Every structure is written in C-alpha cells, then in structure tokens.
Chains A and B, each alone.
Chain A
Amino acid sequence: DTGVSQDPRHKITKRGQNVTFRCDPISEHNRLYWYRQTLGQGPEFLTYFQNEAQLEKSRLLSDRFSAERPKGSFSTLEIQRTEQGDSAMYLCASGGRVGNTIYFGEGSWLTVV
C-alpha cells in the first residue's frame, strides 16, 4: 500500500452517464497526476497538479474530462457523457519534490456499457 487511495475501485456505467473518481494522495505530496491505462498499453498522461494548480493537461483530453484539486489535497476526475472508448483503468499518482518518483494508487476501473 503506497498511501495513495482511489475511489471507487470499480465503476460500471451506461453510455452517456457522468462518472467521478476521487484520489487521496500521500499527505505530504504536493504533486498529483492522473493517468489512463488500457490493456496492453502503458499509462497515458491526462493531467498534472502542483498543489491546487492544474499545470498541465494532455492535448488528448477531450472537453468531457475535467479534474480538480480544490484545496491542494484530494483530487477528482469527472468524465461527462461517457463513451465506450472511455473504458479503462484511471490511475492517480502523487509525488513529493520535483524529480522524485511518483507513487500510484490501485486505480479505478471504468466499464462503459
């Protein structure tokens, strides 16, 4: 257990519904990342926060995706109007000092039916 927790661990939703995932990073970590991973692929970067500021966002991220980290602690990732192609594992990772490694939560599995 790395200390990064994600909720829910599994979510099955119907196409067109909205879903929200939550990530609680390691408490002293100011960096937080969201990634998406599908089978046979490595994690794909979605967005990055340093404290409460969203500093980077993938160009591949459509307008249906939004992330927040309102108080620089936990973060949420919302997907609106889900599509079947959104089915994946959504991973959250946190890190301390820049340049240091990052630690992942167990991931949130999304299945869109």
Chain B
Amino acid sequence: RKEVEQDPGPFNVPEGATVAFNCTYSNSASQSFFWYRQDCRKEPKLLMSVYSSGNEDGRFTAQLNRASQYISLLIRDSKLSDSATYLCVVLTGNQFYFGTGTSLTVIP
C-alpha cells in the first residue's frame, strides 16, 4: 500500500470556483503534513503546512483528520495562476513521502 494516495485528477474548474483536493496516508505514526505546489517541469514548492486544528492562508485552507488519516486542501476563488499540480506530503520519521499529485487547471 502506498504511503500517500491522492486523486490524480485532472480537475478543470472555471475562474472563481472553489475546488477541494483530498489525500489519505497509511501510517498512523506520521508526524507532519504539508501541501506542495509544482508547476510543469519545475521543482515542488511549499504551499502550506497542515495542522490538526486546520489552518488558512488567504484563499487556501488545509485540514487534517488524524483519526481518518485524511488531509484536504480547499482553494476558494480560483485564479488562473493556481493552475498547477498539488502534492500531498507526509513526514514519517525522517522521510517525506509524496503523493502522485493532483492536477488543477483553472479555465478563464
């Protein structure tokens, strides 16, 4: 079983839409959680950390459910510039495990 599983999409949404991505992880001992953003043929860049209480950064909201081993990312009021692949990342011990990524295209 993979450490991190994501729906690969693609998600194609109109500008201004709200879109949600989900991710599950397999190891209950995982200690830290993140969302990274990756543009085509570029390196992954940290979007935000995910905390148990949930956290928000502008239009982005991340949630963590440890009981269900489930992480989510909500993007409100989508912009064209949000088009990218969103990677769910879990830290277990010393290793960061990446999902395969969810592709988002925001359409004018």
Which A residues lie at the B interface, using CB under 8 A? 2, 31, 33, 35, 40-45, 48, 50, 55-56, 89, 91, 93, 98-99, 101-107
Contacts and interface: CB of A to CB of B under 8 A. Distances in A.
Interface of B: 4, 8, 31-32, 34, 41-46, 49, 87, 91, 94-101
A105 B43 contact: yes
B43 to A, nearest CB: 4
Contacts of A99: 31-32, 91
B95 A101 contact: no
A42 B98 contact: yes
Contacts of B98: 35, 42-44
A55 B94 contact: yes
A40 B45 contact: no
* 8 closest cross-chain pairs (CB), A and B: A42-B98, A104-B43, A43-B98, A42-B100, A107-B43, A101-B46, A106-B43, A42-B99
Nearest to B40: A39
Given A103-B46, A105-B43, 17 more contacts: A2-B45, A31-B94, A33-B96, A35-B98, A42-B4, A42-B98, A42-B101, A43-B44, A56-B95, A91-B43, A91-B44, A99-B31, A99-B91, A101-B32, A101-B34, A101-B46, A104-B44
B101 to A, nearest CB: 5
B85 to A, nearest CB: 9
24 contacts: A2-B43, A2-B45, A31-B94, A33-B96, A35-B98, A42-B87, A43-B44, A45-B96, A45-B97, A48-B94, A50-B94, A55-B94, A56-B95, A91-B43, A98-B94, A99-B31, A99-B91, A102-B96, A103-B46, A104-B43, A104-B44, A104-B45, A105-B43, A106-B42
Contacts of A93: 96
A40 B59 CA distance: 26
B46 A45 contact: no
Contacts of B87: 42-43
Nearest to A92: B43
